[in-house]
Amino acid sequence: MTKNDSTAAAVPHRTGSGASRRELAVARSLDPARVRAENRLQRFLDAAIELMKEGGPGKDFTVQEVVERSGQSLRLFYQYFGGKHELLLALFEESVRSTTEFLREQIAGEQGELERLHRFVLEYYRLCRARPHPDPVEWTPTGPMMVDFAQQLLTSYPTEAAQAFAPLAALFREVLDDAAGAGAIRPGLRHSTVAGMALEAIMFNAFSATIAGTSRRADEIDPAEELWDLILHGVGVTPPAPRRTRPTPKSSRR
């Protein structure tokens, strides 16, 4: 990352409009032809994706490399994006939307509400799991660079993170609502809170083996199923045991 890139990433363009980064980028364009603006924007996104696919672990790219790969000008890049942070945010939002649609298709084939919740957890875990030899032709939106960017969003830009994850969180809340309505999970849960905690746990737990430098043996339980078991018992139909309170000392009683 160049000095200019670092500065741009540290001071992202903020907005409270709720629009996606793609919509904001196109709207910022002075080009009256929206289709042409969309095509130009897509060329920047495609260039960034190509650089991600070509780069190895820890390999970053610069705005200048994206501009050169896209065959467009630096001036045009800053007409669409305030800096590299906004480009990464646009890529991340696109990946979240595509992931959401993929998960919606996967859970649609399940019959019961609890089965849909189970399938959601397993499929999202598998999407987030780092593969040792990914297909060089396939860009993984939940790959190391995007996960690192997600961590940056969650810790430094929580408002942007909430907006980026909104489609995925909305789908998970929908699945939780259906499961609660069917009595498959215990009532009284704040589904928005549960969705946020569960999605974060799934996403980052999927990389735990990579971080620890360990690999799973063939006879071990699928870690996705282990995480599902943890989530299920956290929202299961069996209510938790009542918390015991300490008796009031006699000296303080009246």
Mean residue pLDDT of the chain comes to 77
133 in Cβ contact with 235 (< 8 Å):
no
Find all residues with CB under 8 Å of 216, minimum gap 6, and list them: 209, 223
Confidence (pLDDT) at 150: 75
Confidence (pLDDT) at 244: 57
Break the chain into its structural domains and give their ranges.
Answer: 3-234
d(CA 70, CA 185): 49
Confidence (pLDDT) at 222: 80
CATH number at 3-234: 1.10.357.10
Mean pLDDT throughout 111-124? 94
Number of other residues whose CB lies within 10 A of the CB of residue 141: 20
237 in Cβ contact with 183 (< 8 Å):
yes
d(CA 45, CA 59): 17
**Residue 243 pLDDT greater than 90, yes or no:** no
172 in Cβ contact with 202 (< 8 Å):
no
Q: What is the pTM of this model?
A: 0.70
Confidence (pLDDT) at 118: 95
DSSP per residue, 80-149: H-SSHHHHHHHHHHHHHHHHHHHHHHHHHT--SHHHHHHHHHHHHHHHHSPPSS--TTS--TTSHHHHHH
Confidence (pLDDT) at 182: 94
Confidence (pLDDT) at 233: 80
Confidence (pLDDT) at 3: 41
52 in Cβ contact with 65 (< 8 Å):
no
**Residue 181 pLDDT greater than 90, yes or no:** yes
- Is 210 or 52 the better-scoring residue by pLDDT? 52
Q: How close are the terminal C-alpha atoms of the chain, in Å? A: 69
Mean pLDDT throughout 230-252? 62
DSSP per residue, 7-47: HHHHSPPP--S---HHHHHHHH---S-HHHHHHHHHHHHHH
Task: Identify the band that residue 37 occupies on the pLDDT scale cut at 50, 70 and 90.
Answer: confident
Confidence (pLDDT) at 157: 82
H helix and E strand count, the chain: 12, 0
Confidence (pLDDT) at 220: 65
Confidence (pLDDT) at 191: 94
d(CA 114, CA 48): 38
d(CA 104, CA 146): 21
d(CA 26, CA 79): 9
- Is 180 or 145 the better-scoring residue by pLDDT? 180
Backbone angles phi, psi at 247, to 5 degrees: -65, 145
Task: Identify the band that residue 82 occupies on the pLDDT scale cut at 50, 70 and 90.
Answer: very high
- Is 122 or 200 the better-scoring residue by pLDDT? 122
Confidence (pLDDT) at 1: 44
Confidence (pLDDT) at 154: 77
